Structure 1
Amino acid sequence: MVMVPSVAATAAIGVALAQGALAASFSVSGQSFKVTTDQLVGTGFSQYGALDEGYTMDGKKAVHPVAVSSFKQATIKNLCQSVVTPNIPVLGNVSLILRAGQGAKPVEAQNLYIDVADLSADATFENIDIGVAAKDANKGPAMRKGETSNPYGFAQQADKATLTDVKQTAWATTAGTFKLSGLKMSLSTGVKECY
């Protein structure tokens, strides 16, 4: 009975995210997480280096270098996102898996930023500029305010980017709007990840 209000609130937030009514931000208490997709098609692409704050496995603060990939608009087919929280008393490891865009409707995002630590994919870029300064990259969304990055550092941009068979480890994902069609979320004990 005590959990009913919180479960209802969580369900309402999930529905609002799925309908694109809320801005979305995924940053799992400074933990990295894994993401796979069959295909990501994004327009207005920029990529530049930055630093994310996080934690080591023993709880100490750490800084992680990332490549920020940003898109003005993106569609994502068959999204899977997973994070494992280790060493929870009594339970041990607990895995959270989020899936969306598995049917005919893909996930849709606007002003999407992905802070990537590791990526493998097949990629095609249209009208790409390589070696621009991060502050001058104007095809994608602007660099985030307060972000720890070098505005004069290396960046690249393209009118369109298509990535297939994506496997990545990320530290954060943020979007102005994130519409998660067919959202499914599950928690389970043990280590269960997207890849």
Structure 2
Amino acid sequence: TQFKIASSQLEGTGFSQYSGVAKDAEGGKHAVVTANIKDATLENLCQSAVQETPLGKVGILIKAGGKGTPASAKDLQIGMTGLKGDAEFKNIRIGVDASDVNTKAKGSKGDFAQDSDTISIKDLKQDSWSTTASVFTLKDMSLKLTDGSEQCD
């Protein structure tokens, strides 16, 4: 299922973005924008997902990085369908071939892409299908089962 991610401030180095596909548990395919960040920090990170179950609507809410030490990730890759926030890119290239981005992970030859040395997003709000990282450090993490009404908006 899709989930939400929010952060008051994301800082990253080694960024690229291009079209991609995320698969769900049943093998269904979903169009996404794939974003790669080599090293990222996320202040006041929030992740939430809501699912219908035989017991009704159930949510999961995860928070981290809110006490002065941000969450961090290495080799972060996100498959998203929506992104909002105030973004700044340094040394950005827009319209490069996805197979030629300046990150380890690359897209398909001929697809549109962009990359930059750094990315900074204030008040990040994101709808995602997938997140992977080689290392994901969640300082001061809390995880809570909810009735689905608490989400990262």
TM over 0.5: yes
Gaps of 5+ in 2: none
Partner of 2:105: 142
State how many pairs are aligned.
153
Partner of 2:23: 53
The structural deviation recorded for 1:61 is 5.1
Determine if contact 1:40/1:163 at 8 Å carries over to the other structure.
Answer: yes
Max Rg structure: 1
Determine if contact 2:20/2:32 at 8 Å carries over to the other structure.
Answer: yes
Determine if contact 1:115/1:170 at 8 Å carries over to the other structure.
Answer: yes
Cα distance in structure 1, aligned partners of 2:137 and 2:27: 32
The structural deviation recorded for 1:85 is 1.0
Is 2:138 the counterpart of 1:180? yes
Partner of 2:87: 123
Determine if contact 2:40/2:76 at 8 Å carries over to the other structure.
Answer: yes
Q: Aligned with 2:99: secondary structure? A: helix
Q: Aligned with 2:92: secondary structure? A: strand
Structure 1's consecutive aligned runs of 4 or more residues displaced over 3 angstroms after TM superposition are none
- Relative to structure 1, is the Cα distance of residues 36 and 63 closer, same or farther in structure 2, using a 3 angstrom cutoff? same
Cα distance in structure 2, aligned partners of 1:104 and 1:171: 28
In the superposition, the TM-score normalised over structure 2's length comes to: 0.94
Q: Which deviations, in whole Å up to 9, do the C-alpha atoms of 1:39-78 show, x marking residues without a partner?
A: 10000000010011227xxxx7532111111011011000
Determine if contact 1:35/1:82 at 8 Å carries over to the other structure.
Answer: yes
Is 2:11 the counterpart of 1:32? no
Report the residue type matching 1:98 in the other structure: I
Cα distance in structure 2, aligned partners of 1:39 and 1:182: 16
> Whose helix proportion is higher, 1 or 2?
1
Cα distance in structure 2, aligned partners of 1:180 and 1:160: 22
Q: Aligned with 1:181: secondary structure? A: coil
> Whose strand proportion is higher, 1 or 2?
2
Cα RMSD (Å):
1.4
Determine if contact 2:69/2:139 at 8 Å carries over to the other structure.
Answer: yes
Gaps of 5+ in 1: 1-30, 144-148
Is 2:125 the counterpart of 1:167? yes
In the superposition, the TM-score normalised over structure 1's length comes to: 0.75
Alignment of 1:63-82 (within 5 A): 63-82=29-48
